[in-house]
Structure 1
Amino acid sequence: MNLRPPARRGSGIAAKALSPTTTPGHTNPNKQVVIAATGAPSPLRDRQSIYHLRCSLCRHDYGCNGMDIKARLCPNCQGGQPGEPLREPATLSLFD
Structure 2
Amino acid sequence: MIDSPCSRIDPEVMFPDPSDISGIEFAKRQVCGACYSQVECLEWALRASSRSEYGIFGGHTEEERKKLVKARQLGRPARLNYGTFPAKNKRLTTAV
With the length of structure 1 as denominator, give the TM-score of the two structures: 0.24
Instruction: Decide which structure has greater strand share.
Output: 1
With the length of structure 2 as denominator, give the TM-score of the two structures: 0.24
Instruction: Decide which structure has greater helix share.
Output: 2
